[in-house]
Structure 1
């Protein structure tokens, strides 16, 4: 499973084209056309990156971006056809990670998505207790030693790693690890977490990266 991209674009044909290119590049994606639905979707699904159009029905992208930044540092790429807004998009007060002007090449968008996601991971590496993750190669390295993880274990670790300090319930984690909605026990996540911890402990016995919150779920937090 690749990183999940939320496309917020009221031109449905354009969103579908972007989605096709993202799929070919190995990403998962969902789309919304109404600005009023974005915040609840971000809180519930926690995408890995958001492609956010500036002009949307219901609510504009600038306001949405600012409010998302009050509770999440998820990477955001703004999409705009309004050249006069570029200065604001580049301003530190907004919180967007990048912007793309219409008309654009879908290939350029995919390249920007990869770059911003890589930058987001690199930004966190200095505060992860020696853990480095390479999503392109499903490679996890802790204190210079590679962890032998399954694809599911890697995706689980990557998702928690990208959202440090945030607590996720088993149901939320299952939604991210099994997007095809297959029927699995809610204890499946516990099993994956147990195996992950065992593999981490084999490399770094004194490092606890995945923390249990009794009665709630799990979170990633570096020492």
Structure 2
């Protein structure tokens, strides 16, 4: 599999090339926005994108929005630890995932493989006795539809599309603002998740104290 990696830190790139090749992945490396745009315009021989948010000649998120997202190619962003605003923007524009620096090469490869598996599967994601059908936008418990509000369905969808990863409470707050246009506080998020858990009648949604929520596949 060919992976387009847009990253200006040569030490990061060098550290990834060996492990990626070992796992059957070939890196096509570009270090600037301009060189990435030129390559994307000439060739479409890549199946995945790893994109740094901060590049020397521009914004990686703008590059994604204007040149990559319409290609429908899975993309993971590399971000700084304190770059939450950029993470929210990237997810809003359609990024599949993000990973903060410094990161483990094994974790990055695992996330890529997980996304690849998801793109090859049906759009029904199942954890325990709960299934989320993103095409029909319904939640099923043991095959029977669970009655949820439109907002509750979107929150559940956000959680299911981030399986095995903590979804930060601030990201949830931003998404609710985007979906409804209404300001909600931290307590309101707690109430929403309490109601969702009651309706699902299951404990698949875990609280990560002081951070957010997570659904584990296993």
TM-score normalised by L of structure 1: 0.50
In structure 2, the CA distance between the partners of 1:69 and 1:114, relative to structure 1 (3 Å rule), is: same
- In structure 1, runs of 5+ residues without a counterpart are 126-223
Question: SS of 1:5's equivalent?
Answer: strand
Provide Cα deviations, 1:27-79, integer angstroms capped at 9, x if missing partner: 11111111112123234133110110010011211101111345311110000
Q: Does 1:16 align with 2:17?
A: no
Please give the alpha-carbon distance, in whole angstroms, between the structure 2 residues aligned to 1:92 and 1:114. Answer: 19
Please give the alpha-carbon distance, in whole angstroms, between the structure 2 residues aligned to 1:123 and 1:47. Answer: 22
TM-score normalised by L of structure 2: 0.51
Cα distance, 1:12 vs structure 2? 0.8
Q: Which residue of 1 aligns with 2:177?
A: none
Matched ranges for 1:142-153 at <5 A: none
Please give the alpha-carbon distance, in whole angstroms, between the structure 1 residues aligned to 2:56 and 2:118. Answer: 30
CA RMSD of aligned residues (A): 2.3
Larger strand proportion of the pair:
2
List structure 1 segments (4+ residues) > 4 angstroms apart after TM superposition. Answer: none
Question: SS of 2:54's equivalent?
Answer: coil
Matched ranges for 1:86-101 at <5 A: 88-89=87-88, 92-101=91-100
Q: Report how many residues are paired.
A: 123
- In structure 2, runs of 5+ residues without a counterpart are 125-218
Q: Which residue of 2 aligns with 1:40?
A: 38
CA contact 1:5–1:50 (8 Å) conserved in 2: yes
Q: Which residue of 1 aligns with 2:51?
A: 52
Question: SS of 1:50's equivalent?
Answer: strand
CA contact 1:89–1:96 (8 Å) conserved in 2: no
Provide Cα deviations, 1:90-135, integer angstroms capped at 9, x if missing partner: 665321110000010111111111111222222589xxxxxxxxxx
CA contact 2:69–2:94 (8 Å) conserved in 1: no
CA contact 2:50–2:76 (8 Å) conserved in 1: yes
- The structure with higher relative contact order (CA 8 Å, sep 6+) is 1
In structure 2, the CA distance between the partners of 1:50 and 1:91, relative to structure 1 (3 Å rule), is: closer
Matched ranges for 1:118-129 at <5 A: 118-122=117-121
